[in-house]
Amino acid sequence: MREFFKHLRYVIGENPVTAVAFGLFALIVLLAIVGPVIAPFDPLASDTNNALQPPSPEHWFGTDQLGRDVLSRVIVATRLDLGISIAAVALSFAIGSALGAYAGFFGGWSDRIVGRVADTIMAFPLFVLAMGIVAALGNTVENIVYATAIINLPFYARVARAEVNVRRDAAFVEAARLCGNGDMRILAVHVFPNILPPMMVQISLNMGWAILNAAGLSFIGLGVRPPTAEWGIMVAEGATFIISGEWWLALFPGAALMLAVFCFNLLGDGLRDLIDPRQRT
C-alpha cells in the first residue's frame, strides 16, 4: 500500500497537469458524496417570485426560470453526473474488454463474431444510435446509461483484442503456462492487468463523453426527466436563455460540466502513468 502511495506521489510530482486533474477529481467525488448536505437551498424548490435573478449574495449562481437556486442544483447534480459517467463506462469497459480480451486470446470464431458486432455498432453514427435507443426505451437515467455503454463498447473490445493479441505469445505467458496455469486464468490474472494502461486513457475519455452525451440528449429532449438536476439538462435549458441575457443559467452548469470533462480527459494520462508497470520507479 505504501508502495502505491509513494508511486502516486511520484506520478503527481512528475506532471503538474496530472496533479491538477487528480485534485479536481477528488473535489468532484467529495461534492458527489456530501453535495445534498451542503447545498444551501432545496434544488427542487421553486419560487416563481424570484425567477431569473442574476447572481447575488443570497443566490451565488442566481436562480433559474422557476426560481430554483442554481448553485444548489449544480452541486447536487454532481452526484448524478458522476454516477452516470462511472456506470456507463464501467459497464462498457467490463463487457467490452472482457469480450475483446477473450476474442484476442482465443481467436477463431469468437474473434470474428466480436469483430463483426463491434464494426456494426461503430458504423452507426454514434450519437444518433444513442438517441434511437433512448427514444425507443424511454428517457430514464438507466436507459441513458445503457445507451452510452452500448455505443462505447466497441472501443474497449477493439483495444482489448489488439493488446491481448500482441501479448498472447509473450514470454511471460509462456512461463505462466509452463507453471500449469489454465488459459482462462492466464487471461484473467496475467494478461489482463497488462493491457490496462492503454485502456485507462480510453476510460477517462469515455467518462467525459458520457456526460457530454447526456447533455446532447437533453438538448434534443431525450435526456433525464425534469425536475432532476443534471448538468447537461441545465446547460441545454439554459442555452436558450443566453440570447435574452440570462447567461448564468447556462454558464455555471456549463462550467461545472466543462471542468468535470476536462478533469476526466486529463486524468487518463495520469491514471495510465500510475498503473503502467513499465513506469514504475
Partner 1 sequence: MKHSTLKLIARRLLHAVPSVIGIVVVTFLLTRALPGDPAVYFAGPAADEKSIAEIRTALGLDRGLPEQFGIYLKNLAQGDLGVSIGTGRPVVTELAERLPASIELTLCGLLFALSVALPLGVLAATRPNSAVDHLCRVVVTAGVSLPTFFTGLFLIYIFYYLLGWSPSPLGRLDFVYVPPPHITGFYLVDSLLAGDVETFRGSAAQLILPAFTLGLFALAPIARMTRAAMLSVLSSDFIRTARASGLARSKVLIAYALRNAMLPVLTTLGMVFSFLLGANVLVEKVFSWPGIGSFAVEALVASDYAAVQGFVLAMAILFVALNLTIDVLYTFVDPRVKMDS
Partner 2 sequence: MGAGVLPVLKYLPAEAAGRGDTLVVVIGDAPNSMDIHRKGTNRPAYQIAVNLYDRLVTYGNKKLPDGSVMYDYTTIEPELAESWKFAADGKSVTFKLRKDATFWDGTPVTANDVKWSFDRAVSVGGFPTVQMKAGSLEKPEQFVAVDDHTFRIDFLRASKLTLPDLGVPVPIIINAKVAKKHATKEDPWATEYLHKTPAGGGAYMLERWDPGQQTVYKRYDKWKNGPLPGIQRVVVREVPSAATRRALLERGDVDLSLDMPAKDAKELMQSGKLKVTGIPIENCLHAIGLNLNIKPFNDVRVRKAVAYAVPYEEIFKAAAYERGVPMYGAKSMKPATAAWPQPFPYSTDHKKAKALLAEAGLAKGFEVPLSFNLGLAQWSEPAALLLQESLAKVGIKATLDKIPGSSWRSRALVEKSLALHLKNFGGWLNYPDYYFFWVYQKGRLFNSMNYTNPELEKLVDTTLHMPVKDAAYATNVKKMIGIVFEEVPLIPLWQPYLDVAMQKNVDGYAYWFHRQLDARSLRKA
What is d(CA 245, CA 170) in angstroms, rounded to the nearest whole number? 62
**CB of residue 181 to partner 2, shortest distance in Å:** 52
Among positions 3, 244, 277, 281, the unique one binding partner 2 when judged by CB under 8 A = 244
Residue 63: φ, ψ to 5°: -120, 160
Closest CA to 167 of 180, 179, 177, 152: 177
Q: Taking CB under 8 A as the rule, does residue 51 contact partner 2?
A: yes
First CA to last CA distance, the chain: 15
Are 141 and 109 in contact by the 8 Å Cβ rule? The answer is no
Among positions 122, 135, 176, 255, the unique one binding partner 2 when judged by CB under 8 A = 135
- Residue ranges in contact with partner 1 by CB under 8 A: 15-17, 116-117, 119-120, 122-128, 131-133, 135-138, 208, 212, 215-216, 219-221, 232, 235-236, 239-240, 242-243, 250, 254, 257-259, 261-262, 265-266
Are 235 and 253 in contact by the 8 Å Cβ rule? The answer is yes
What burial letters (b/e) apply to 87-118, b meaning 16+ CB within 10 Å? Answer: bbbebbbeebbbbbbbbbbeeeeebeebbeeb
Please work out, in degrees rounded to the nearest 5, the angle formed at the alpha carbon of residue 197 by the alpha carbons of 169 and 276: 90
Q: Taking CB under 8 A as the rule, does residue 136 contact partner 2?
A: no
Q: Which does 29 bind (CB under 5 to 8 A by kind): partner 1, partner 2, none?
A: none
Q: Which does 139 bind (CB under 5 to 8 A by kind): partner 1, partner 2, none?
A: partner 2
**CB of residue 84 to partner 2, shortest distance in Å:** 18
Q: Between residues 51 and 255, which has the closer beta carbon with respect to partner 2?
A: 51
Q: Taking CB under 8 A as the rule, does residue 139 contact partner 2?
A: yes
What is d(CA 166, CA 181) in angstroms, rounded to the nearest whole number? 19
Q: Which does 45 bind (CB under 5 to 8 A by kind): partner 2, partner 1, none?
A: partner 2
**CB of residue 271 to partner 2, shortest distance in Å:** 37
**CB of residue 227 to partner 1, shortest distance in Å:** 20
Residue 241: φ, ψ to 5°: -95, -5
**CB of residue 263 to partner 1, shortest distance in Å:** 9
Segment 222-226 long-range contacts (CB within 8 Å, at least 24 positions apart):
222/131, 222/134, 222/135, 222/139, 223/139, 223/144, 224/80, 224/139, 224/140, 224/141, 224/144, 225/139, 225/140
Q: Taking CB under 8 A as the rule, does residue 243 contact partner 2?
A: yes
**CB of residue 122 to partner 1, shortest distance in Å:** 7
Are 149 and 92 in contact by the 8 Å Cβ rule? The answer is yes
Q: Which stretch binds partner 2 (CB under 8 A): 44-52, 177-185, 200-208, 257-265?
A: 44-52
**CB of residue 16 to partner 1, shortest distance in Å:** 7
Say which DSSP state 230 is in.
-
Q: Is 208 helix (H, G, I), strand (E, B) or coil?
A: helix
Q: Between residues 41 and 252, which has the closer beta carbon with respect to partner 1?
A: 252
Residues in touch with partner 2 (CB under 8 A): 44-46, 48-49, 51, 65-67, 135, 139, 221-222, 225-227, 239-244
